[in-house]
């Protein structure tokens, strides 16, 4: 680990929110796992400590939406295998964090990016398989708890039903590709997909959950992209507050509105 870290500010890139970079270690691998987080407290700290064992096959990046809980202090991050911390200073939520992370990854020369939530629900043991599939040339890799080898526990019934009855069928129909776990943010993307001008990920229209759905649909429609699902584990706490940023009523309505817009092609690029 380097004796000191470096800081820089990234600003004024079209379609990319402004952000700060705290570089803790140099780039070592061709693939990057981006952990999306905002105020996850000990959950993100425990997750980063566990992720360290996979730093032999990929670099670990934290993409922070602006945490204020002190969980991502430099002193703590230096005790982990975290390669860099990005802190978004521009507007937007999850999709803005994704655009920030994708910009960093492409500018840094990574061949592919794995995305994962920072709330500790996802089984980290799947990370090497994502790297393997990216190496094999897959462009969109959807982690699924619902295919053979997948596993889930304590999934809220409302989410399970919404996914099975509405979300997955609509994304599958729109993408012309069977997809079984379309609300799961544990995914892999090739640099080829992220840099494609017709996919056009660097647009301010992607602010909350739009980008997940757009990439799932558009990559499925294009014959020059290879799509696959891979089994993953997702375990919710058996009791207590569900670790999520989606509120039961307003948040769910917002997610559904984005889903319908994506299925109807409202996020397609003008390059298409």
Higher pLDDT, 32 or 90: 32
Task: Supply the Cα-derived Rg of the chain in whole angstroms.
Answer: 17
Position 2 confidence tier, pLDDT thresholds 50, 70, 90:
very low
According to DSSP, residue 17 is labeled -
Give the per-residue pLDDT at 3. Answer: 46
**CB under 8 Å to 176, separation ≥6 — which residues?**
220, 221
Task: Residue 70: give its domain's CATH number.
Answer: 3.90.550.10
Task: Look at residues 198, 259, 265 and name the one whose alpha carbon lies nearest to residue 225.
Answer: 198
Domain tally for the chain?
A: 1
Position 253 confidence tier, pLDDT thresholds 50, 70, 90:
confident
Q: What is the mean pLDDT of residues 133-161?
A: 95
- From CA 122, how far away is CA 233, in angstroms rounded? 6
Parallel/antiparallel/unpaired status of strands 19-23 and 84-88? antiparallel
In a domain, 1, yes or no: no
b/e sequence 141-166, b meaning 16+ C-beta within 10 Å: bbbbbbeeebebeebeeebeebbeee
Give the per-residue pLDDT at 272. Answer: 53
For residue 211, pLDDT over 70 is answered with yes
In a domain, 184, yes or no: yes
In a domain, 168, yes or no: yes
**CB under 8 Å to 260, separation ≥6 — which residues?**
170
Q: What is the mean pLDDT of residues 26-41?
A: 97
Residue 75 belongs to domain spanning: 6-263
Q: What is the mean pLDDT of residues 107-121?
A: 97
Give the per-residue pLDDT at 251. Answer: 61
In a domain, 128, yes or no: yes
In a domain, 271, yes or no: no
Q: What is the mean pLDDT of residues 139-151?
A: 97
In a domain, 66, yes or no: yes
Residue 33 near residue 116, CB atoms below 8 Å:
yes
In a domain, 113, yes or no: yes
> Mean pLDDT of all residues in the chain?
93
Position 1 confidence tier, pLDDT thresholds 50, 70, 90:
very low
Q: Is the pTM of this model over 0.85?
A: yes
In a domain, 154, yes or no: yes
What share of the chain has pLDDT > 90, as a percent?
A: 85
DSSP H or E segment with residue 242: none
């Amino acid at each position: 680990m380097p004796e000191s870290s470096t800081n820089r500010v990234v600003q004024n890139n079209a379609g990319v929110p402004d952000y700060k970079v705290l570089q803790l270690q140099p780039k070592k691998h061709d693939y990057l796992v981006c952990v999306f987080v905002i105020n996850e407290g000990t959950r993100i700290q425990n997750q980063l400590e566990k992720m360290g064992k996979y730093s032999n096959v990929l670099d670990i990046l934290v993409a922070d939406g602006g945490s204020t809980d002190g969980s991502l202090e430099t002193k703590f991050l230096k005790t982990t295998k975290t390669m860099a911390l990005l802190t978004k200073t521009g507007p937007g939520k999850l999709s803005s964090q994704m655009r920030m992370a994708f910009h960093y990854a492409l500018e840094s020369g990574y061949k592919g990016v794995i995305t994962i939530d920072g709330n500790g629900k996802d089984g980290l043991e799947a990370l090497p398989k994502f790297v393997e599939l990216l190496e094999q040339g897959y462009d969109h890799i959807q982690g699924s708890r619902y295919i053979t080898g997948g596993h889930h526990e304590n999934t809220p019934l409302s989410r399970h039903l919404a996914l099975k009855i509405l979300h997955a069928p609509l994304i599958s129909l729109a993408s012309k590709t069977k997809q079984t776990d379309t609300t799961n943010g544990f995914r892999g993307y090739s640099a080829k997909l992220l840099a494609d001008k017709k996919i056009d990920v660097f647009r301010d229209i992607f602010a909350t959950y739009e980008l997940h759905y757009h990439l799932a649909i558009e990559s499925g429609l294009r014959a020059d992209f290879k799509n696959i699902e891979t089994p993953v584990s997702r375990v919710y706490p058996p009791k207590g507050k569900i670790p999520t940023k989606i509120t039961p009523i307003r948040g769910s309505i917002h997610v559904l509105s984005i889903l319908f817009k994506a299925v109807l092609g409202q996020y397609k690029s003008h390059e298409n």
